[in-house]
Amino acid sequence: MKNNVKQVFGTYEWAVENANFISGCSNNCKYCYSREMAIRFKRKTTENWHIEEVNMAQFNKKVKKVDGFIMFPSSHDITPVNLFNAIAFLKKLLEAGNNILIVTKPHFEVIKAICHEFTAYKKNILFRFTIGSKDSDILKFWEPNAPNYEERKKCLKYAFENGFETSISCEPILDDNTLNLVTDLEDFVTDFIWIGKANFLLRRLKMNGISDSETINIANELIQLQSDNNIKMLYKNLKNNPKIKWKESIKKVLNLEVSTVKGLDE
């Protein structure tokens, strides 16, 4: 008999399904995995990745109720450019009875609108705000059009104070100041703070058309900061914090068991 327990990686560490309806993302992060895939499969280019195009077939797709979280979005973001459409899409997912994990580099305008629109669905929404550094200059360097640290923290506090479930994705870690980041944010987190490394950084930059020497030097510094020794030190410092969860990239360094999920026989 085949083993019916599968190891899970990436977004499947968090949710059973993903939902998306946009191609491209105006945040334009240099290390973006979705950008890498879109360029590889010739759906987008380096030059036009930042232009958000609604995929009407995805937008209009019928929604079923699933058992477990649906992650929305996973291959773009919810930015002010498509806020109106994102609210309509989210409404459809929630009205079908689903629990939604909203993963975003949060713009305050967006979070305020979602909290206002979906007060009745508070218990069906878990926010996960991506914050890889406390330093807005570092965020600006890697994620040029995404909000600065202060705006992301403001969103976290706002959602928390309005009674929504909140969590953080510190993935990719963008500096060596993760301990301070955790200290600064943990009081506004009802769920977990997930920590993960920057995966395949040089390969992604290359595919994403980013080859300037400044970025490559900073990327190499970041790879050094995420050496096995530094990851083990971070783990030592945070392992007793009940709000911390480690992504698969860190579990591998620590030889911790990777998350598993029961799947179909393969």
> Nearest distance from residue 196's CB to ligand SF4, in Å?
13
Structure tokens at 173: 């870690």
Quick one: which segment of 31-39, 90-98, 237-245, 246-254 binds ligand SF4 (CB under 6 A)? Answer: 31-39
| 28 makes contact with ligand SF4 (CB under 6 A) | yes
Contact 205, 219 (CB under 8 A): yes
> Nearest distance from residue 201's CB to ligand SF4, in Å?
13
Q: Which of residues 116-175 bind ligand SF4 (CB under 6 A)?
A: 143, 146
Q: Which residues contact 131 (CB under 8 A, 6 or more apart)?
A: 105, 149, 152, 153, 156, 168, 169, 170, 181, 185
Question: Among 15, 19, 25, 102, which residue sits at the site for ligand SF4 (rule: CB under 6 A)?
Answer: 25
**What is the C-alpha to C-alpha distance for residues 24 and 4, in angstroms, rounded to an integer?**
35
Residue type, 237: N
Q: Which of residues 216-255 bind ligand SF4 (CB under 6 A)?
A: none
Contact 129, 166 (CB under 8 A): yes
**What is the C-alpha to C-alpha distance for residues 170 and 126, in angstroms, rounded to an integer?**
16
Q: Give the per-residue contact string, 84-113, with ligand SF4 (x = CB under 6 A; - = no).
A: ---------------------x--------
DSSP codes joined into one string, 123-169 = GGEEEEEE---S-HHHHHHHSTTS--HHHHHHHHHHHHHTT-EEEEE
Question: Among 27, 98, 226, 249, which residue sits at the site for ligand SF4 (rule: CB under 6 A)?
Answer: 27
Question: Among 18, 34, 82, 169, which residue sits at the site for ligand SF4 (rule: CB under 6 A)?
Answer: 34
> Nearest distance from residue 24's CB to ligand SF4, in Å?
8
Q: Which is nearer to ligand SF4, 29 or 101 (CB)?
A: 29
Question: Among 13, 36, 77, 248, which residue sits at the site for ligand SF4 (rule: CB under 6 A)?
Answer: 77
**What is the C-alpha to C-alpha distance for residues 123 and 114, in angstroms, rounded to an integer?**
13
What does the binding site for ligand SF4 look like in residue numbers (CB under 6 A)? 25, 27-29, 32, 34-35, 76-77, 105, 143, 146
